[in-house]
Amino acid sequence: MVRILIALGGNAIKQAHEKGTKEEQMHNCDVTARQIAKIIKDDPTREIVITHGNGPQSGNLALQQDIAKAQIPAQPLDIVGAMTQGQIGYMFQNRLQAAFKAEGIDRQVICLVNQVLVSRDDPEFVGENASKPVGNFLSKEEAETLKKEKGWIVKNVKPSAEKGWRRVVPSPNPLRNVEAETAKILVNSGVVVIASGGGGIPVVETPEGYEGVEAVIDKDLAGACLADSVSADIFMILTDIDAACVNFGKPNQEKLIGEVKYPKMEEYVKEGHFSAGSMGPKVGACMRHVEKTKKRAIIASLEEAVDALAGKKGTHIVF
């Protein structure tokens, strides 16, 4: 019996060229669900936990909040995160149920609206250290106006563009998955659990309980946290890239297919082979999982998930 935490990239829900209609997103979730059904069909003893991103959905919903604020109170990021967790969780839950039925798989599926603990003392909350861009691109003038009116932190994240400014919010380190024990009980019972969507709802601990904060947790790091919480044997990030690469974009580019030992991957990280805007967070999350648990982490293409689990595809980081 193998327990697998599957972290799904944004392409599993919305392609870059798409508008994000219900039909488009349900179709993409359907394609993904069929891949997950194949993973279980290939080995019925596999236990599955799923997490996912929510960037486009939360960005659109935050924009809707802003547009309608004159008539309806705008909701903060923790509420937007909860709302999109429910939205995407429903879509995957619905399509997984259909895929399991088609394959004759007898598994229950449930989505958890899931909180993740962070610290108020995290450096991301200090001054203008916030690093996660959210929302639309803005001109310098628009950004400065919003900074003055709303107190936003704004940064020029794309200096070459006319509208290269965006709001940035803290992206604190995930410390603990609040509903981890609930998720583990469900997985132990054979249920396919969808949790920690979009990095989870960021909360801090107070004397009264938990309080949501204006932040966005890195979904891959939160996925590694969830993998540890549910005692996953494999942490697998499925994306639109079939493997991590060294010397990316250069004539001597090399795909890291197969097993790479942790110390060697650590060398690659220090040499700067994985950019912060793409492969870096995925490799970082995998490294954290392997270092803490001494178990396997995989980066692979969604379409090659079954072959990746068989060791034929993808980058496998092992201790």
The active-site residue out of 282, 295, 313, 314 is 282
The active-site residue out of 219, 223, 295, 314 is 219
* Tokens encoding 72: 């309806």
Which residue, chain included where needed, has tokens 């990095």?
199
The active-site residue out of 11, 54, 114, 177 is 11
Query: In this structure, how many other beta carbons lie within 10 angstroms of the beta carbon of residue 294?
Result: 10
43 Cβ partners below 8 Å, 6+ apart? 2, 309
Distance, CA of 49 to CA of 183 (rounded, Å): 9
Q: At what angle do helices 219-229 and 180-188 cross, to 10 degrees?
A: 60
Which residue, chain included where needed, has tokens 């309806």?
72
- Asked if 319 contacts 262 with a C-beta cutoff of 8 angstroms, the reply is yes
11 given a catalytic annotation = yes
Burial class (CB in 10 A: 0-12, 13-18, 19+), 297: buried
38 given a catalytic annotation = no
Q: Is 252 left (phi over 0), alpha (psi -120 to 50) or beta?
A: alpha
Distance, CA of 213 to CA of 120 (rounded, Å): 9
282 given a catalytic annotation = yes
Distance, CA of 227 to CA of 211 (rounded, Å): 23
223 given a catalytic annotation = no
Distance, CA of 84 to CA of 192 (rounded, Å): 19
The active-site residue out of 10, 81, 198, 200 is 10
The active-site residue out of 14, 114, 132, 199 is 132
Which residue, chain included where needed, has tokens 């891949």?
35
Query: What are the catalytic residues?
Result: 10-11, 132, 219, 282
